């Protein structure tokens, strides 16, 4: 196992922090979506188009955020199961530097590049 217990704890904390940031951002995002709806009821056509565009963007942002939240949850589950840090394709250890940059990574660099 390439990751020390210490590394694992650090990555776990990082994931938990990311998770709470995501949840916080989701709440703010939902508020923004509500504001757009209120605006739509009382503004003209042009502003309404702006508002619709802004809403489409916030829906897209929300979608990505939910996907990332799922990835974070899965990474935390792998930590609990003792499977964290192993490539899902080839079972090799994922480089700790890669996990540090992207704690939700599930593939080693070689497999990630092969799949691109």
Please, are residues 103 and 112 in contact by the beta-carbon 8 Å criterion?
A: no
Shortest approach of Zn ion to residue 2 CB, angstroms? 13
> Cβ closer to Zn ion: 48 or 98?
98
Does position 108 interact with Zn ion (CB under 5 A)? The reply is yes
Shortest approach of Zn ion to residue 108 CB, angstroms? 3
The DSSP output letter for 94 is: P
Does position 105 interact with Zn ion (CB under 5 A)? The reply is no
Which residues between 38 and 97 bind Zn ion (CB under 5 A)? 87, 89-90, 92
* CA atoms of 21 and 29, how far apart (whole Å): 12
> Cβ closer to Zn ion: 58 or 106?
106
Please, are residues 26 and 62 in contact by the beta-carbon 8 Å criterion?
A: yes
User: Could you tell me where the beta strands, DSSP code E, fall in the chain?
Assistant: none
Q: CA nearest 74: which of 100, 96, 102, 105? A: 105
Residue from 22, 51, 54, 111 in contact with Zn ion (CB under 5 A): 111
**Binding site residues, Zn ion, CB under 5 A:** 87, 89-90, 92, 108, 111
């Amino acid at each position: 196992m390439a990751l020390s217990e210490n590394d694992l704890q650090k990555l776990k904390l990082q994931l938990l922090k990311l998770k709470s940031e995501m949840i916080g951002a989701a709440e703010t995002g939902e508020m923004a979506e509500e504001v757009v709806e209120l605006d739509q009821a009382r503004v003209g056509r042009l502003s309404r188009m702006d508002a619709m565009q802004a809403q489409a963007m916030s829906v897209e942002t929300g979608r990505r955020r939910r996907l990332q939240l799922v990835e974070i949850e899965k990474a935390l589950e792998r930590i609990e199961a003792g499977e964290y840090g192993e490539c899902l394709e080839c079972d090799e250890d994922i480089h700790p530097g890669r996990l540090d940059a992207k704690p939700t990574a599930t593939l080693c660099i070689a497999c990630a590049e092969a799949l691109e």
